[in-house]
């Protein structure tokens, strides 16, 4: 129970291995849905069809013999809307509530010819009785049809994918890390639209946030709003250095780890190191956004750079990586090319400052390279 009139009817998915076919979720994911019981009854979203039977059972229990008047579709992405047809098969007289883009996109998945629809726009209000639902458009957070719904009676914001996190609701884990990983991998590209929605939210008296993934947020909401303000403005969150490496024969990995050791010895407050060939790419991307200073260390390969590093850089570009200081380490025994390739990709991003000196290793790490790593470490901790 969220409030006296608002019930949680979502489900946990512990069977999924990759969320959206690409993000590792060792603690699963939750698909959240809610029902508001009033003179009229509104259901807030459905769930992924993977768990539709559990969802429909939860819904039927919560309704306790009532018939739903409205199904509000805040986000058409299949992990939330792929059970809409199953919902309508059971409750065909229910009116679907969405904006114009909602129904354009929903028709790509379902035949809505015989469905009852109610189209809303920014500022529209739907009265359920005591509860009044105010609709807030949130295009590109992170699809064009996304909208938030604010219940002015219980002061609840149904926030769609905003303020969500990876992990089932029974996962014993810190909210921050998986919320940060979720944000930068799912929503991270769309900082400006998030900023726009945060300005709208600032005008609402919000006491509870009900996201479509992760726990309902009821306490210290300023903390969560502050994190979204920080993340969506692309400002660094943690003081320290993140080192990501892609090593062909282990020498570049040795240099990256040696640099981390030097930084720690010099008092760097925090150092994270990621092997791009073996570690989770989504965590590496999260850390690149978390820290203000990033070191990219890579072997040269086929006249360019190791594919793992190239892939990582394209991921960063795709998520609007910006406002960071970046240092480069390259390795190339007979024709070093990694630095140039990394620079070419970084030049396509906004606000990237390259730190000097860059370090070039030819083969194994030698004494002169260790001296260069010392100098680079000094620059990184200035």
CA distance 81 to 97: 12
Report the CATH number of the 238-380 domain.
Answer: 3.40.50.360
| 33 C-beta neighbours (distance < 10 Å), count | 26
pLDDT band (50, 70, 90) for residue 52:
very high
Question: Strand 6-8 relative to strand 34-36: parallel, antiparallel, unpaired?
Answer: antiparallel
Provide CB contacts within 8 A for 176, sequence distance 6+. Answer: 227
pLDDT at 50: 96
pLDDT at 371: 97
**Residues listed for the chain:** 382
pLDDT at 177: 94
Question: Which value, to the nearest 10 degrees, does the dihedral of the CA atoms of residues 162, 96, 132, 183 take?
Answer: 0
pLDDT band (50, 70, 90) for residue 283:
very high
Residues carrying CATH 3.60.15.10, the chain: 6-232
CA distance 24 to 167: 10
pLDDT at 237: 97
pLDDT at 309: 98
pLDDT band (50, 70, 90) for residue 209:
very high
What is each CA distance from 330 to 237, 284, 309, 363, in whole angstroms? 27, 19, 11, 10
pLDDT at 132: 98
Residues carrying CATH 3.40.50.360, the chain: 238-380
pLDDT at 198: 96
CA distance 210 to 259: 43
CATH top class, domain 6-232: alpha beta
pLDDT at 189: 93
pLDDT at 18: 96
Provide CB contacts within 8 A for 294, sequence distance 6+. Answer: 241, 242, 243, 244, 288, 324, 325, 326, 327
- What average pLDDT does the segment 288-307 reach? 97
DSSP per residue over 38-75, as a string?
SSS-EEE----GGGHHHHHHHHHHHHTT----EEE-S-
- Mean pLDDT over the full length of the chain: 97
pLDDT band (50, 70, 90) for residue 234:
very high
pLDDT at 272: 98
**What are 19-37's pLDDT values in tens digits?**
999 999 999 999 999 999 9
**What are 135-163's pLDDT values in tens digits?**
999 999 999 999 999 999 999 999 999 99
CA distance 345 to 327: 14
**What are 328-378's pLDDT values in tens digits?**
999 998 889 999 999 999 999 999 999 999 999 999 999 999 999 999 999
pLDDT at 363: 93
**What are 75-120's pLDDT values in tens digits?**
999 999 999 999 999 999 999 999 999 999 999 999 998 999 999 9
């Amino acid at each position: 129970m969220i409030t006296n009139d608002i019930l949680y009817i979502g489900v946990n998915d512990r069977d999924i291995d990759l969320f959206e076919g690409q993000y590792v979720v060792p603690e699963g994911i939750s698909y959240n849905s809610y029902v508001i019981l009033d003179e009229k009854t509104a259901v807030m979203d459905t769930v992924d069809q993977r768990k539709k039977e559990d969802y429909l059972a939860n819904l039927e229990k919560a309704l306790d013999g009532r018939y739903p008047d409205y199904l509000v579709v805040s986000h058409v992405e299949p992990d939330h809307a792929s059970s809409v047809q199953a919902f309508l098969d059971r409750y065909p007289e229910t009116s679907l509530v969405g904006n114009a883009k909602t129904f354009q996109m929903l028709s790509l998945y379902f035949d809505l010819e015989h469905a009852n629809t109610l189209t809303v726009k920014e500022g529209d209000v739907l009265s359920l009785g005591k509860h009044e639902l105010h609709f807030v458009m949130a295009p590109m957070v992170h699809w064009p049809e996304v909208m938030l719904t604010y219940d002015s009676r219980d002061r609840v914001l149904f926030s769609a994918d905003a303020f969500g996190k990876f992990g089932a609701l029974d996962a014993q884990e810190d909210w921050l890390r998986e919320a940060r990983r979720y944000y930068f991998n799912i929503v991270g590209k769309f900082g400006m639209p998030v900023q726009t929605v945060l300005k709208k939210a600032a005008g609402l008296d919000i006491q509870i946030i009900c996201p479509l993934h992760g726990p309902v947020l009821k306490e210290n909401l300023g903390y969560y709003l502050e994190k979204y303000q920080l993340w969506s403005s692309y400002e660094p969150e943690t003081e320290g250095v993140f080192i990501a490496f892609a090593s062909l024969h282990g020498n570049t990995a040795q240099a990256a780890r040696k640099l981390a050791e030097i930084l720690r010895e010099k008092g760097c407050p925090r150092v994270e190191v990621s092997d791009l060939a073996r570690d989770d790419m989504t965590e590496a991307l999260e850390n690149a956004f978390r820290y203000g200073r990033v070191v990219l260390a890579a072997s040269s390969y086929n006249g360019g750079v190791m594919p793992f590093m190239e892939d990582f850089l394209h991921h960063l570009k795709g998520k609007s990586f910006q406002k960071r200081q970046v240092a480069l380490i390259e390795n190339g025994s007979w024709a070093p090319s990694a630095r140039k390739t990394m620079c070419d990709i970084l030049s396509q991003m906004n606000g990237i400052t390259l730190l000097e000196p860059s370090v070039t290793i030819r083969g194994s790490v030698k004494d002169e390279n260790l001296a260069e790593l010392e100098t680079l470490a000094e620059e990184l901790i200035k």
